[in-house]
Amino acid sequence: MKKTKIPAAAEPAAEQTPSFADLGLHASILDALRDAGYTTPTPIQREAIPIAMKGRDIMGLAQTGTGKTAAFTLPIIDRFIDGPRRTRALILTPTRELCVQVEESFQKYAAHGEITAVAVYGGVPLEPQERKLRAGVDVVVATPGRLIDHLERQNVVFDDLEVLVLDEADRMLDMGFAPQINKIVDQIPAYRQTLLFSATMPPEVEALARKYLRKPIVVQVGVRSAAASTVTHAVYPVPREKKNALLVQLLTGKPHDSVLIFSRTKHGADRIVRDLEKAGLTATAMHADKSQAQRTRALQDFKEGKTTVLVATDIAQRGLDISNITHVVNYDVPQQAEDYVHRIGRTGRAAKEGDAYTFMAPDEIGMVRTIERMIGKPIPRVSVPGFDFGTVAAD
């Protein structure tokens, strides 16, 4: 595979950075980008878009929050802007939330064109999606399970498909979607452009790329499994039974504009919300026991600032495109080290600064050390009087 790598700390000088206009995108796309307030592409966009516009397969590797979605939506829109109306692109995503956000990106960037897109995901009735699919769309954005439901009902065919995108490929494999991906790809044309984007590159993703990509060009921003350089990390040693009290003290002690908290369990997320509301904070929970409508509302309220704290299980660790999150709190240490990178990737996005707090109970010391080995540096310990069980040094 031909490889293009952009070191995380080696950004070109401002005068050398191209604008979106320099990438050769259609004028209507440039108009939509200006309307959205975007003028300068991120590194992954700068490298991937021209390659994708040439029709080459791409394996895109970049940390969360670096603009991977636009790196594939913009060249797809450019390719289809003057073409016939038929289903020509399929984007597979791991979660409902990411599915909706990718579809919204198509609507935003194609605002001055005639590209149509539909989001297809579970947790909502099939019939409205079926009507849209049968009416004909250019782009289908789907979670694997719900798409198979529609394929089995012959609500959509991909005979004219030109582009397949596997978004957040590592997360899809983590969630056990490999059989569904294989079943879907078996029903689309073998001759197509395939774009695979992922935050990490475990062996399973490499195997997927070898299976479905043809002589791909690898575009890598930063290093594999790296945490964003704009995020400040801190570990708070705290007994498990005092985590709620510490959280309330931290969030009420000084202003926090927009806080995303990760809980390991759904019950724990609900309990955290209750305690924060008792302390006078506006908070809401987002997890699998919530209906799709409730999850959508929780996310929208958080985006609009109606609630300042969103408490979520790992359903929210990938794909959330929220630009103003100032703090991420790992209420429970993630059990997989790479999940730490995905979680804290919700802040420090697009070169903005952010803070990542991790609450470490005594039985979570080993998991923190594993995270530190993966990111290649120790995370500073912060002692809070009345909560600290003893500062533990990194290995």
Please identify, among 191, 221, 251, the residue that sits at the C-terminal boundary of a domain. Answer: 221
Does 226 fall in a domain? no
Q: Let me know: does 331 contact 263? Beta carbons within 8 Å.
A: yes
CATH number for position 29: 3.40.50.300
Q: Which of 32-46, 306-320, 376-390 has the lowest mean pLDDT?
A: 306-320
Residue 13 pLDDT: 39
The string of pLDDT tens digits covering residues 242-288 is: 999 999 999 987 767 789 999 988 899 999 999 999 999 999 988 87
Please identify, among 194, 221, 248, the residue that sits at the C-terminal boundary of a domain. Answer: 221
Residues 24 and 105 in one domain: yes
Does 276 fall in a domain? yes
Burial of 49 (0-12, 13-18, 19+ CB in 10 A): buried
Per-position DSSP letters for 81-108, written without gaps between them? TTS-SS--EEEE-SSHHHHHHHHHHHHH
Provide the domain count of the chain.
Answer: 2
Exposure string over 212-225, b if 16+ CB within 10 A, otherwise e? bbeebbbbbbbeeb
Residues 141 and 243 in one domain: no
Look over the chain and give the mean of its residue pLDDT values, rounded to a whole number. Answer: 85
User: Could you tell me which residue, 14 or 111, shows the higher pLDDT?
Assistant: 111
Residues 186 and 276 in one domain: no
Sheet with 163-166, edge to edge strand ranges: 2-6, 217-221, 58-61, 193-198, 163-166, 89-92, 139-142, 117-120
Q: Give the rounded distance of the alpha carbon of 244 from its chain centre.
A: 27
Does 187 fall in a domain? yes
Does 389 fall in a domain? no
Please identify, among 171, 202, 221, the residue that sits at the C-terminal boundary of a domain. Answer: 221
Please give the residue range of the domain that contains residue 83. 2-221
Average pLDDT over residues 78-104: 89
Distances (CA, A) of 292 to 99, 127, 132, 249, 288: 12, 16, 19, 32, 9
Residues 322 and 206 in one domain: no
Q: How many helices (H) and strands (E) does the chain have?
A: 14, 14
Does 255 fall in a domain? yes
| Whole-angstrom distance, CA of residue 91 vs CA of residue 29 | 19
Neighbours of 229 (CB within 10 A): 12
Which residue type, as a one-letter code, is found at position 117?
A
Residues 149 and 260 in one domain: no
Residue 15 pLDDT: 45
pLDDT of residue 156 exceeding 70, the answer is: yes
Residues 213 and 254 in one domain: no
What one-character DSSP code corresponds to residue 279?
T
Does 350 fall in a domain? yes
Residue 17 pLDDT: 63
Does 139 fall in a domain? yes
Burial of 336 (0-12, 13-18, 19+ CB in 10 A): middle
The string of pLDDT tens digits covering residues 92-150 is: 999 888 899 899 999 999 988 888 999 999 988 999 999 999 998 999 999 999 999 99
Does 386 fall in a domain? no
Global confidence as pTM: 0.65
Q: Which of 167-181, 190-204, 334-348 has the lowest mean pLDDT?
A: 334-348
For the chain, the straight-line distance linking the first and the last C-alpha, in angstroms and rounded, comes to 36
pLDDT of residue 353 exceeding 50, the answer is: yes
Residues 116 and 214 in one domain: yes
Residues 212 and 270 in one domain: no
Q: Let me know: does 164 contact 194? Beta carbons within 8 Å.
A: yes
Residues 215 and 246 in one domain: no
Residues 68 and 212 in one domain: yes
| Whole-angstrom distance, CA of residue 233 vs CA of residue 382 | 10
Residues 246 and 214 in one domain: no
Residues 103 and 27 in one domain: yes
